[in-house]
Amino acid sequence: MSGDAETPRRCGMVAIVGRPNVGKSTLMNHLVGQKISITSRKPQTTRHRIHGILSRDNHQIIFADTPGIHAGQDKAINRYMNQAAGSALSGVDVVCFMVDALKWTEADEHVLSRLPTDGTPVLLLINKVDSVADRDALLPHIDALAARFDFAEVIPVSALREQNLDVLEKALVARLPESDFWYDEDQLTDRSLRFMVAEIIREKVVRQLGQEVPHQVAVEIELWKDRGDIVDIAAKILVERDGQKRILIGKGGDRIKKIGTAARHDIEELVGSRVMLELWVKVKSGWSDDDRALRSLGYGDV
């Protein structure tokens, strides 16, 4: 795509922030038009700051999907996640503060307290409006939220149903600076294939296990060999206790097989090739509270 000569190109960074599990990753994925961030019903699924890139004829928006900002958790991994989310608020052109329809919690209040007050425009996104049965309650709720902060605009959306995302995109573009594009127009993320594959595997683990194993799971790619018509990938899944390993593997290995099958399908779509995927589980006690272990897994790269 090439820009219209009469319309200046605009390009800039937009941070999507909010409490855990409010729909930030779903929003970015639908805006970009491809799954960039992994999703699940469990809070704190997103751990890293991940950039998704939306390119049109005359504008390019770089979205920073962030871990949910949360308080009161002192593990090293929680500190890294808060650092990733907090750092995304500096040096951006627009901030999208996302909340969940009629809900307002202490966690939302905590995120609100961290919004920039330096003149950076902040858009309030009221998500999941399609699920609100009592429409009469929505407008007073929106008015009450709008009074809490000097929001540049308030936009009701449904990230999942893609409602009002065109309105959101226009509101963002209007606030971007005139600039050449930062990335090639066919690039959808700044993350590597290895990172994306590790995230796909972690998503399948989180979805398969439900509430049985907490978020003490990490994935590390050990082998990546491209043989032309097929890609060999071996990945290590880290847990913190032997009991978690047994749950993850399942009876006769049935659960790890299901995880591998689901992951391989998505990975093949991502890499555009057949994939031979090998997974194994390793116990590494306390990795989620170990700064050195976290840095080796990429958590220092925020």
User: DSSP letter string over 111-122?
Assistant: HHHTS--SS--E
Least trusted range by pLDDT, from 34-48, 90-104, 130-144? 34-48
Say what the pLDDT of residue 124 is.
Answer: 97
Q: pLDDT > 70: what percent of the chain? A: 78
Confidence grade of residue 221 (pLDDT, cut at 50, 70, 90): very high
Q: Quick check: 62 pLDDT over 80?
A: yes
Q: Is the pLDDT higher at 192 or at 124?
A: 124
Say what the pLDDT of residue 102 is.
Answer: 84
In a domain, 180, yes or no: no
Strands 50-55 and 10-17: unpaired
Say what the pLDDT of residue 292 is.
Answer: 66
Confidence grade of residue 38 (pLDDT, cut at 50, 70, 90): low
Confidence grade of residue 231 (pLDDT, cut at 50, 70, 90): very high
How far is residue 155's CA from residue 142's CA, in Å, rounded to a whole number? 9
Residue 246 and residue 155 in one domain = no
Confidence grade of residue 122 (pLDDT, cut at 50, 70, 90): very high
Number of domains in the chain: 2
In a domain, 183, yes or no: no
**Two structure tokens written together for 81:** 């996640």
Q: Are 217 and 206 in contact (CB under 8 A)?
A: yes
Q: What is the pLDDT of residues 65-117, one digit of tens each?
A: 776 554 555 665 555 555 655 566 768 999 999 998 888 999 899 889 989 88
Residue 142 and residue 226 in one domain = no
Residue 19 and residue 110 in one domain = yes
How much is the mean pLDDT over the chain?
83
Say what the pLDDT of residue 302 is.
Answer: 42
Residue 164 and residue 36 in one domain = yes
How far is residue 20's CA from residue 194's CA, in Å, rounded to a whole number? 25
Say what the pLDDT of residue 88 is.
Answer: 60
Residue 149 and residue 205 in one domain = no
Residue 144 and residue 46 in one domain = yes
Across 219-223, average pLDDT: 92
Residue 149 and residue 197 in one domain = no
**Domain range spanning residue 83?**
10-173
How far is residue 189's CA from residue 191's CA, in Å, rounded to a whole number? 5
Q: Quick check: 21 pLDDT over 50?
A: yes
In a domain, 237, yes or no: yes
Say what the pLDDT of residue 45 is.
Answer: 47
In a domain, 3, yes or no: no
- CATH no. for residue 44? 3.40.50.300
Residue 141 and residue 24 in one domain = yes
Among residues 282, 232, 233, 279, which one has the least CA distance to residue 256?
279
The overall longest dimension of the chain from CA atoms, in Å, is 64
To the question of pTM greater than 0.85 for the whole model, the response is: no
Strands 122-127 and 94-100: parallel
Q: What is the pLDDT of residues 235-293, one digit of tens each?
A: 999 888 888 899 899 999 999 999 999 999 999 988 889 999 999 999 887 666 656 66
Q: What is the distance, to the nearest Å, from the Cα of residue 246 to the centroid of all Cα atoms in its chain?
A: 28
Residue 134 and residue 213 in one domain = no
In a domain, 85, yes or no: yes
Residue 248 and residue 142 in one domain = no
In a domain, 90, yes or no: yes
In a domain, 146, yes or no: yes
Say what the pLDDT of residue 121 is.
Answer: 96
Residue 15 and residue 146 in one domain = yes
Residue 44 and residue 125 in one domain = yes
The residue among 173, 202, 219 that closes a domain is 173
In a domain, 67, yes or no: yes
For 82-101, letters b (16+ CB in 10 Å) and e give bebbbebbeebbbbbbbbbb
How far is residue 131's CA from residue 135's CA, in Å, rounded to a whole number? 10
The residue among 173, 205, 236 that closes a domain is 173
